Amino acid sequence: MAKTKSVYVCRNCGAESPKWIGKCPSCGEWNSYVEEIVSKAPAAKIQLAGLEIAKQKPVRISDLEAKEESRFDTGSNELNRVLGGGMVEGSLALIGGEPGIGKSTLALQAALNIQGKKTLYVSGEESASQLKLRAERLKFDNPDCYIVSETSLEQIFVHIQNLQPGLVIIDSIQTISTETVESSPGSVTQVRECAAAILKFCKTTGTPVFLIGHINKEGSIAGPKVLEHIVDTVLQFEGDQHYMYRILRSIKNRFGSTPELGIFEMRQSGLREVSNPSELLLSQNHEGLSGIAIASTIEGARPFLIEAQALVSSAATVPRSGRAPGSTCAA
Ligand SMILES: [Zn+2]
C-alpha cells in the first residue's frame, strides 16, 4: 500500500518544508505555507498517451542549422504583438489575470479566430454548452474549433491524441489535476506537475499550448512562482472590471522582447483590439480650449501620447455654486 505523508508547500514559490513555517525562507512571503498530501509510492510517470517520440541524440553545435522559430497568426494583431509576432509552434504560454477580467474571452476569441489550424479548447470551469453560449455572444464561428469540458490531465491527453489539434487552450491550469499526485486541484504540487507534463507534451509534439492561470490578490500568477519558470511566455491580462479597457502585457517571453503591450476594449460582443491608443488617451476635440497639453510617454516598447488637462479658475469674490478655486489634473 502506498504510504502517504504530508509536506508544507509555499503557495508563492513552491518551496517545501516538513513543518509549517510562518515566513518562507526562499521567497520571504508570510503565511504562505499550506499542507499538501504527497504519496510515497514510487513516482508514477504521467503518461503522454503515446505522444512521446524517440529520445533525442546530442548533436554538434556546428552541425545544427539555426532557424527562426516558426510562428502562426493568432487572428489578433494585439495578441500577436505581445507574443513577439505570433505564437511560436511548440511553445507554452500562460495567460494570467484576475478572475472575471476576460481571460477566457480572450482565449476563446483566439481559438475561434485562428485560421487553418484545428484548435482544442479544454475548459475545467465551464460546460461545453456554456462555452457555446459565450461563442455565440462573440459572434464568431469556426468549424475547426473543438471544445471539451475536462479536468483530468490524463483524459485531456486522450482527447488530444484522438483529435490531433494544432493548438490547445487549457482553461484553467488550476482546475486540471493528474492522478499521479494525490493533492487537490489547484495545489502547488498539482499545478507544477500538470504544467511540467504539458510542457513536455509541447516540446515533444511541437504543439503550442495556451494555459490560463488565475492571479492571487498579491498579483503573482497562480500562486506558485514555479509556474512562471516552467512556461515559455507569461502574459498578464490587466484592467479594471468596471472599465472597458484591458491591457495585455508580456512579463516573460523566451521568443520575443519582454516589454510589449496590447490594448483591448471589452464589449458585449467580445474584445475589440485598440490599435490606436490615442483614441482613448486623447480627447479628440479640443479646439478653442486652454489648459490641455499633449505629452508622449513610453510603456513597454510602445509609445503613447497622453493628454494632461488642467482646470484652473481664479478665486471669485462672489461665491458661486461653481467650482472652488484650485486645479485638477487628469491624464
Ligand atoms: Zn516561498
Question: What's the mean pLDDT in 76-85?
Answer: 89
| Most trustworthy range by pLDDT among 171-185, 197-211, 251-265, 268-282 | 197-211
| Distance in Å, CA 55 to ligand 1 centroid | 34
Mean pLDDT over 316-331 rounds to 52
Residue with cell 504562505: 32
Ligand 1 center from residue 175 Cα (angstroms): 22
* Interatomic CA distance for residues 54 and 221, integer angstroms: 34
Kindly list the distances between the CA atom of residue 260 and the CA atoms of 80, 82, 176, 280, 321, in Å, as whole numbers in the listed order: 10, 5, 29, 18, 47
Q: Are 248 and 236 in contact (CB under 8 A)?
A: yes
Tell me how far the alpha carbon of residue 31 lies from the centroid of ligand 1, in angstroms: 9
Confidence at residue 326, expressed as pLDDT on a 0 to 100 scale: 46
Distance 91 CA to ligand 1 centre (A): 27
Q: Ligand 1 center to residue 228 CA distance, Å?
A: 14
CA of 26 to the centre of ligand 1 (A): 5
In this predicted structure, what is the pLDDT of residue 146?
92
Lowest mean pLDDT among 62-71, 89-98, 244-253, 318-327: 318-327
Q: What is the pLDDT of residue 220?
A: 58
Q: Which residue has the higher pLDDT, 322 or 197?
A: 197
Q: Is the pLDDT of residue 159 over 90?
A: yes
Contacts 24+ apart (CB under 8 A), 132-139: 134/104, 134/105, 134/108, 135/108, 137/268, 137/269, 137/270, 138/105, 138/108, 138/109, 138/112, 138/269, 138/270, 139/269, 139/270
State in Å: Cα 194 to ligand 1 middle. 20
- Ligand 1 centre from 222 Cα, in Å? 13
Q: What is the predicted pLDDT for the residue at 153?
A: 93
Contact 231, 92 (CB under 8 A): yes
In 10 A of CB 7, how many CB atoms?
Answer: 17
Q: In this structure, are residues 12 and 224 in contact, taking their beta carbons and an 8 Å threshold?
A: yes
Q: Between 121 and 312, where is the model more confident?
A: 121
Instruction: Measure the CA dihedral 168/172/174/175, to 10°.
Output: -90
Residue position matching grid coordinates 504540487: 189
pLDDT reported for residue 164? 93
Bin 48: left if φ > 0, else alpha if -120 < ψ < 50, else beta: alpha
Q: Which fold has domain 71-275?
A: Rossmann fold (3.40.50)
Of 11-20, 88-97, 163-172, give the lowest mean pLDDT range.
11-20
Residue 209 is predicted with a pLDDT of 94
What's the gap in Å between 225 CA and the centre of ligand 1?
Answer: 8
| Grid cell of 241 as nine digits | 472590471
| Residue 169's pLDDT band (cuts 50, 70, 90) | very high
Residue 325 has pLDDT above 60, yes or no: no
Contacts of 149 (CB under 8 A, 6+ apart): 122, 123, 124, 126, 127, 128, 131
- Residue 328: pLDDT band with limits 50, 70, 90: very low
Sign of CA dihedral 204, 210, 213, 218: positive
Please tell me the least confidently modeled range out of 66-80, 181-195, 282-296: 282-296
Going by C-beta distance under 8 Å and a sequence separation of 6 or more, which residues neighbour residue 77? 273, 275
What is the rounded (10 degree) CA torsion for 18, 15, 92, 274?
130
Residue 107: predicted pLDDT:
92
Q: What is the mean pLDDT of residues 66-73?
A: 83
pTM above 0.85, yes or no: no
Question: Model confidence at 321, in pLDDT bands (50, 70, 90)?
Answer: low
- Encode pLDDT of 236-269 as tens digits: 898 877 788 898 988 888 888 777 888 899 888 8
CA distance 90 to 188: 24
Residue 293: the pLDDT is: 84
For 220-245, letters b (16+ CB in 10 Å) and e give bbbbbbbbbebbbbbbbbbbeeeeee
Distance 87 CA to ligand 1 centre (A): 31
Gap between the Cα atoms of 325 and 331, Å rounded: 20
**Residue 317 in grid coordinates:** 469674490
Top-confidence residue, 221 or 23 = 23
Residue-range domain boundaries for the chain = 4-39, 71-275, 279-330
Separation of CA 223 and ligand 1 centre (Å): 10
- Burial of 190 from C-beta contacts in 10 A (0-12 / 13-18 / 19+): buried
Contact of 165 with 148, CB cutoff 8 Å: no
Ligand 1 centre to CA of 135 (Å) is 39
Mean pLDDT of the residues in the chain: 82
Report the separation in Å between the CA atom of 311 and the middle of ligand 1, taken as the mean of its atom positions: 48
Question: Lowest-confidence range among 69-78, 86-95, 294-303?
Answer: 294-303
Mean pLDDT over 179-183 rounds to 83
- Measured in Å, residue 224 CA sits from the centre of ligand 1 at 8
Q: How far is the CA of 42 from the centre of ligand 1 (A)?
A: 26
Distance 33 CA to ligand 1 centre (A): 8
pLDDT above 50 (res 331): no
Please give the distance, rounded to the nearest whole angstrom, from the Cα atom of residue 227 to the centre of ligand 1: 13
Judged against a pLDDT cut of 80, whether residue 46 lies above it is answered with no
Q: How far apart are CA 213 and CA 235, in angstroms?
A: 10
Residue 219 Cα to ligand 1 midpoint, Å, equals 15
